[in-house]
Protein backbone atom coordinates (compact mmCIF):
# COMPACT_ATOMS: atom_id res chain seq x y z
CA UNK A 1 0.00 0.00 0.00
CA UNK A 2 0.97 3.63 -0.34
CA UNK A 3 0.75 6.22 2.40
CA UNK A 4 0.29 9.93 1.84
CA UNK A 5 1.07 13.13 3.70
CA UNK A 6 -1.54 15.59 2.44
CA UNK A 7 -0.53 19.21 2.87
CA UNK A 8 -2.59 22.31 2.11
CA UNK A 9 -2.95 22.80 -1.67
CA UNK A 10 -0.48 25.69 -1.70
CA UNK A 11 2.29 23.39 -0.56
CA UNK A 12 4.05 20.55 -2.36
CA UNK A 13 2.31 17.23 -1.80
CA UNK A 14 4.64 14.45 -0.74
CA UNK A 15 4.04 10.84 -1.55
CA UNK A 16 6.07 8.38 0.47
CA UNK A 17 6.60 4.75 -0.38
CA UNK A 18 5.83 2.23 2.39
CA UNK A 19 7.86 -0.87 3.18
CA UNK A 20 4.66 -2.89 2.63
CA UNK A 21 5.34 -3.00 -1.11
CA UNK A 22 7.90 -5.73 -0.39
CA UNK A 23 10.67 -4.36 -2.55
CA UNK A 24 14.01 -5.96 -1.56
CA UNK A 25 16.22 -3.75 0.61
CA UNK A 26 13.59 -1.00 0.56
CA UNK A 27 13.24 0.96 3.79
CA UNK A 28 11.64 4.40 3.63
CA UNK A 29 9.45 6.66 5.69
CA UNK A 30 5.75 5.79 5.52
CA UNK A 31 3.00 8.21 6.46
CA UNK A 32 -0.61 7.31 7.18
CA UNK A 33 -3.38 8.85 5.05
CA UNK A 34 -5.36 11.71 6.51
CA UNK A 35 -9.08 12.25 6.16
CA UNK A 36 -8.62 15.67 4.61
CA UNK A 37 -7.17 14.02 1.51
CA UNK A 38 -10.74 14.06 0.21
CA UNK A 39 -10.60 17.86 0.08
CA UNK A 40 -7.62 18.03 -2.29
CA UNK A 41 -8.55 18.57 -5.92
CA UNK A 42 -7.65 15.88 -8.41
CA UNK A 43 -5.41 18.37 -10.24
CA UNK A 44 -2.93 18.10 -7.35
CA UNK A 45 -2.15 14.56 -8.45
CA UNK A 46 -1.32 15.76 -11.94
CA UNK A 47 1.76 17.58 -10.68
CA UNK A 48 5.09 16.05 -11.78
CA UNK A 49 6.27 13.26 -9.50
CA UNK A 50 9.99 12.81 -8.76
CA UNK A 51 11.73 9.89 -7.09
CA UNK A 52 14.76 10.24 -4.81
CA UNK A 53 16.85 7.09 -4.51
CA UNK A 54 19.01 6.19 -1.51
CA UNK A 55 21.65 3.47 -1.87
CA UNK A 56 24.76 2.02 -0.24
CA UNK A 57 27.36 1.86 -2.98
CA UNK A 58 30.34 -0.49 -2.64
CA UNK A 59 33.34 -1.21 -4.88
CA UNK A 60 31.13 -3.78 -6.69
CA UNK A 61 29.94 -1.85 -9.77
CA UNK A 62 27.74 -4.66 -11.08
CA UNK A 63 25.81 -5.04 -7.84
CA UNK A 64 25.50 -1.26 -7.48
CA UNK A 65 23.86 -1.09 -10.91
CA UNK A 66 21.43 -3.90 -10.03
CA UNK A 67 20.39 -2.02 -6.88
CA UNK A 68 19.96 1.32 -8.65
CA UNK A 69 18.10 -0.24 -11.59
CA UNK A 70 15.65 -1.89 -9.20
CA UNK A 71 14.81 1.47 -7.61
CA UNK A 72 14.58 3.23 -10.97
CA UNK A 73 12.15 0.63 -12.32
CA UNK A 74 10.03 0.97 -9.17
CA UNK A 75 10.05 4.78 -9.57
CA UNK A 76 8.80 4.37 -13.14
CA UNK A 77 6.09 1.93 -12.03
CA UNK A 78 4.86 4.47 -9.48
CA UNK A 79 4.59 7.19 -12.13
CA UNK A 80 7.67 9.32 -11.52
CA UNK A 81 8.94 11.38 -14.45
CA UNK A 82 12.46 11.77 -13.07
CA UNK A 83 14.60 9.71 -10.69
CA UNK A 84 17.57 11.10 -8.75
CA UNK A 85 20.57 8.95 -7.78
CA UNK A 86 23.19 10.03 -5.23
CA UNK A 87 26.81 10.96 -5.64
CA UNK A 88 29.00 7.90 -6.34
CA UNK A 89 26.00 5.84 -7.44
CA UNK A 90 28.45 3.87 -9.62
CA UNK A 91 30.80 2.83 -6.78
CA UNK A 92 32.59 3.90 -3.61
CA UNK A 93 36.14 2.60 -3.57
CA UNK A 94 38.48 1.90 -0.66
CA UNK A 95 41.27 4.25 -1.77
CA UNK A 96 42.23 6.68 -4.56
CA UNK A 97 44.03 3.96 -6.53
CA UNK A 98 40.92 1.79 -6.64
CA UNK A 99 38.80 4.83 -7.54
CA UNK A 100 40.96 5.54 -10.58
CA UNK A 101 41.01 1.88 -11.58
CA UNK A 102 37.20 1.56 -11.48
CA UNK A 103 36.47 4.87 -13.25
CA UNK A 104 35.14 5.02 -16.83
CA UNK A 105 34.59 7.61 -19.57
CA UNK A 106 31.07 8.88 -20.23
CA UNK A 107 30.99 6.68 -23.31
CA UNK A 108 31.82 3.54 -21.31
CA UNK A 109 29.80 0.46 -20.53
CA UNK A 110 28.17 1.69 -17.31
CA UNK A 111 26.65 4.86 -18.77
CA UNK A 112 25.53 2.72 -21.69
CA UNK A 113 23.55 0.55 -19.27
CA UNK A 114 21.90 3.60 -17.72
CA UNK A 115 21.12 4.97 -21.17
CA UNK A 116 19.32 1.74 -22.00
CA UNK A 117 17.54 1.80 -18.63
CA UNK A 118 16.27 5.35 -19.18
CA UNK A 119 14.85 4.33 -22.55
CA UNK A 120 13.33 1.15 -21.15
CA UNK A 121 11.60 3.00 -18.30
CA UNK A 122 10.77 6.17 -20.24
CA UNK A 123 12.26 8.08 -17.31
CA UNK A 124 14.62 11.03 -16.96
CA UNK A 125 17.62 10.23 -14.73
CA UNK A 126 19.83 12.43 -12.56
CA UNK A 127 23.03 10.42 -12.14
CA UNK A 128 24.39 12.34 -9.25
CA UNK A 129 28.13 11.79 -9.32
CA UNK A 130 29.82 9.58 -11.89
CA UNK A 131 33.57 8.90 -11.63
CA UNK A 132 34.43 10.17 -15.11
CA UNK A 133 37.63 9.70 -17.04
CA UNK A 134 37.66 12.92 -19.03
CA UNK A 135 39.36 13.75 -22.29
CA UNK A 136 42.47 14.72 -20.32
CA UNK A 137 42.73 11.32 -18.58
CA UNK A 138 45.91 10.28 -20.37
CA UNK A 139 47.68 13.50 -19.34
CA UNK A 140 46.36 13.90 -15.78
CA UNK A 141 45.55 10.34 -14.61
CA UNK A 142 42.80 11.99 -12.58
CA UNK A 143 39.01 11.99 -12.96
CA UNK A 144 36.00 14.30 -12.64
CA UNK A 145 33.06 13.92 -10.29
CA UNK A 146 30.39 14.33 -12.96
CA UNK A 147 26.64 14.85 -12.51
CA UNK A 148 24.92 13.51 -15.64
CA UNK A 149 21.33 14.13 -16.76
CA UNK A 150 19.77 11.62 -19.15
CA UNK A 151 16.42 12.26 -20.79
CA UNK A 152 13.77 9.57 -21.28
CA UNK A 153 15.32 8.67 -24.64
CA UNK A 154 18.64 7.91 -22.96
CA UNK A 155 20.45 10.95 -24.34
CA UNK A 156 22.92 12.94 -22.23
CA UNK A 157 21.36 16.41 -22.04
CA UNK A 158 23.57 17.96 -19.35
CA UNK A 159 26.80 17.34 -17.47
CA UNK A 160 28.23 19.22 -14.49
CA UNK A 161 31.65 18.49 -13.05
CA UNK A 162 31.91 19.18 -9.32
CA UNK A 163 33.63 22.51 -8.76
CA UNK A 164 34.20 22.37 -4.98
CA UNK A 165 36.27 19.35 -3.95
CA UNK A 166 35.96 17.97 -0.44
CA UNK A 167 39.43 18.16 1.12
CA UNK A 168 38.64 18.14 4.83
CA UNK A 169 39.65 16.45 8.07
CA UNK A 170 36.73 16.14 10.49
CA UNK A 171 37.55 14.60 13.90
CA UNK A 172 35.68 11.34 14.29
CA UNK A 173 34.85 11.04 10.61
CA UNK A 174 38.21 10.41 9.00
CA UNK A 175 40.05 12.51 6.41
CA UNK A 176 38.64 13.17 2.96
CA UNK A 177 41.01 14.30 0.20
CA UNK A 178 38.96 14.26 -2.98
CA UNK A 179 41.63 16.15 -4.90
CA UNK A 180 43.96 13.15 -4.62
CA UNK A 181 42.05 11.55 -7.48
CA UNK A 182 39.74 14.26 -8.80
CA UNK A 183 40.05 17.48 -10.81
CA UNK A 184 37.65 20.35 -10.00
CA UNK A 185 35.23 21.25 -12.77
CA UNK A 186 35.92 24.48 -14.64
CA UNK A 187 32.40 25.97 -14.73
CA UNK A 188 28.76 25.77 -13.72
CA UNK A 189 26.10 24.30 -15.98
CA UNK A 190 23.08 26.36 -16.98
CA UNK A 191 19.82 24.94 -15.55
CA UNK A 192 18.31 22.23 -17.73
CA UNK A 193 14.60 21.99 -18.58
CA UNK A 194 13.01 18.68 -17.49
CA UNK A 195 9.42 17.45 -17.07
CA UNK A 196 9.66 18.43 -13.39
CA UNK A 197 11.05 21.94 -13.95
CA UNK A 198 14.37 23.68 -14.61
CA UNK A 199 17.08 21.87 -12.65
CA UNK A 200 20.30 23.43 -11.39
CA UNK A 201 23.10 20.90 -11.00
CA UNK A 202 25.45 20.64 -8.02
CA UNK A 203 27.07 17.84 -6.02
CA UNK A 204 27.38 17.28 -2.25
CA UNK A 205 30.08 19.66 -0.88
CA UNK A 206 28.81 22.34 -3.30
CA UNK A 207 25.88 22.91 -0.93
CA UNK A 208 28.23 24.73 1.47
CA UNK A 209 28.68 27.52 -1.10
CA UNK A 210 25.49 29.61 -1.44
CA UNK A 211 27.04 31.62 -4.25
CA UNK A 212 26.59 28.59 -6.50
CA UNK A 213 22.89 28.18 -5.71
CA UNK A 214 22.27 31.92 -6.14
CA UNK A 215 23.96 31.86 -9.54
CA UNK A 216 21.81 28.91 -10.60
CA UNK A 217 18.54 30.47 -9.48
CA UNK A 218 19.39 33.75 -11.23
CA UNK A 219 19.93 31.64 -14.36
CA UNK A 220 16.41 30.25 -14.03
CA UNK A 221 16.68 27.20 -11.73
CA UNK A 222 13.50 26.03 -10.03
CA UNK A 223 14.94 22.83 -8.54
CA UNK A 224 18.41 22.51 -7.02
CA UNK A 225 19.98 19.06 -6.80
CA UNK A 226 22.59 18.02 -4.25
CA UNK A 227 23.35 14.32 -4.75
CA UNK A 228 25.60 13.46 -1.83
CA UNK A 229 27.60 11.09 0.32
CA UNK A 230 27.66 12.95 3.66
CA UNK A 231 29.65 11.54 6.55
CA UNK A 232 28.44 10.30 9.92
CA UNK A 233 29.62 13.44 11.80
CA UNK A 234 28.75 16.25 9.39
CA UNK A 235 25.48 14.54 8.44
CA UNK A 236 23.58 14.90 11.74
CA UNK A 237 25.01 18.39 12.29
CA UNK A 238 24.71 20.02 8.87
CA UNK A 239 22.81 17.97 6.27
CA UNK A 240 19.20 19.07 6.79
CA UNK A 241 20.16 22.57 7.94
CA UNK A 242 22.15 23.28 4.77
CA UNK A 243 19.52 21.83 2.43
CA UNK A 244 16.72 23.85 4.01
CA UNK A 245 18.86 26.99 3.95
CA UNK A 246 19.58 26.55 0.23
CA UNK A 247 15.85 26.08 -0.45
CA UNK A 248 14.81 29.15 1.54
CA UNK A 249 17.41 31.58 0.23
CA UNK A 250 16.99 30.49 -3.41
CA UNK A 251 13.21 29.92 -3.23
CA UNK A 252 13.73 26.63 -5.07
CA UNK A 253 12.83 23.05 -4.46
CA UNK A 254 15.86 21.11 -3.26
CA UNK A 255 16.26 17.43 -4.10
CA UNK A 256 19.03 15.58 -2.29
CA UNK A 257 19.64 11.89 -3.02
CA UNK A 258 22.11 10.45 -0.52
CA UNK A 259 24.38 7.51 0.10
CA UNK A 260 23.65 5.64 3.33
CA UNK A 261 25.16 2.96 5.54
CA UNK A 262 28.56 1.25 5.47
CA UNK A 263 30.20 1.01 2.06
CA UNK A 264 33.24 -0.94 3.24
CA UNK A 265 35.51 -1.09 6.27
CA UNK A 266 36.82 2.45 5.72
CA UNK A 267 33.71 4.50 5.00
CA UNK A 268 30.06 5.02 5.93
CA UNK A 269 27.46 7.63 4.90
CA UNK A 270 24.64 9.41 6.72
CA UNK A 271 21.71 8.90 4.32
CA UNK A 272 18.46 10.82 5.01
CA UNK A 273 17.69 11.62 1.36
CA UNK A 274 15.04 14.31 1.16
CA UNK A 275 13.04 16.86 -0.81
CA UNK A 276 12.63 20.39 0.55
CA UNK A 277 10.08 22.86 -0.79
CA UNK A 278 10.82 26.58 -1.43
CA UNK A 279 9.42 27.49 2.01
CA UNK A 280 12.05 25.28 3.63
CA UNK A 281 9.73 22.44 4.63
CA UNK A 282 11.01 18.88 4.32
CA UNK A 283 8.18 17.29 2.34
CA UNK A 284 9.67 13.84 1.71
CA UNK A 285 12.53 11.88 3.20
CA UNK A 286 13.94 8.37 3.23
CA UNK A 287 14.36 6.54 6.50
CA UNK A 288 17.30 4.27 7.31
CA UNK A 289 18.69 1.99 4.64
CA UNK A 290 18.40 1.82 0.84
CA UNK A 291 15.08 2.84 -0.65
CA UNK A 292 13.29 5.76 -2.24
CA UNK A 293 10.88 8.56 -1.48
CA UNK A 294 8.68 10.48 -3.89
CA UNK A 295 7.36 14.03 -4.04
CA UNK A 296 5.27 16.18 -6.35
CA UNK A 297 6.72 19.44 -7.66
CA UNK A 298 4.32 22.40 -7.69
CA UNK A 299 5.86 25.19 -9.75
CA UNK A 300 2.77 27.38 -9.37
CA UNK A 301 3.37 27.34 -5.63
CA UNK A 302 7.01 28.29 -6.23
CA UNK A 303 6.01 31.23 -8.44
CA UNK A 304 3.43 32.47 -5.94
CA UNK A 305 5.99 32.31 -3.14
CA UNK A 306 8.50 34.31 -5.17
CA UNK A 307 5.79 36.85 -5.96
CA UNK A 308 4.74 37.27 -2.33
CA UNK A 309 8.32 37.28 -1.00
CA UNK A 310 10.35 38.92 -3.80
CA UNK A 311 13.78 38.73 -2.18
CA UNK A 312 15.67 38.80 -5.47
CA UNK A 313 14.09 42.16 -6.28
CA UNK A 314 15.19 43.49 -2.89
CA UNK A 315 18.89 42.64 -3.14
CA UNK A 316 21.36 45.55 -2.75
CA UNK A 317 24.46 44.51 -4.72
CA UNK A 318 25.79 48.08 -4.56
CA UNK A 319 26.27 47.48 -0.82
CA UNK A 320 27.71 43.96 -0.70
CA UNK A 321 28.40 42.94 -4.29
CA UNK A 322 26.88 40.08 -6.25
CA UNK A 323 26.78 36.89 -4.21
CA UNK A 324 26.60 34.58 -7.17
CA UNK A 325 26.75 36.26 -10.56
CA UNK A 326 24.19 35.09 -13.13
CA UNK A 327 25.60 32.51 -15.52
CA UNK A 328 26.73 33.89 -18.87
Contact 167, 179 (CB under 8 A): yes
- Alpha carbon distance 109, 40 (integer Å): 45
Cα Rg of the chain (Å, integer):
19
- Alpha carbon distance 224, 23 (integer Å): 28
What residues form DSSP beta bridges with 284?
A: 275
DSSP codes, 66-114: HHHHHHHHHHHHTT-SEEEE-TTSS---SSHHHHHHH-B-TTSHHHHHH
Contact 50, 275 (CB under 8 A): yes
| Nearest CA-CA partner of 162 in 115, 212, 101 | 212
Residues annotated as catalytic are 87, 162, 204
Amino acid sequence: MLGFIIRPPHQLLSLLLCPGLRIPRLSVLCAQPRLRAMAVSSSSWELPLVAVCQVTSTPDKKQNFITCAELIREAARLGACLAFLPEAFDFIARNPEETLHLSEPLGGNLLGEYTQLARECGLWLSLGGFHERGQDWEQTQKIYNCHVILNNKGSVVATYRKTHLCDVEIPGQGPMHESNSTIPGPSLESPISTPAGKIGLAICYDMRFPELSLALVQAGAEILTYPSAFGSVTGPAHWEVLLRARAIESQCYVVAAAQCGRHHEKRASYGHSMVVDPWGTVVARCSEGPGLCLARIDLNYLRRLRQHLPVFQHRRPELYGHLGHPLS
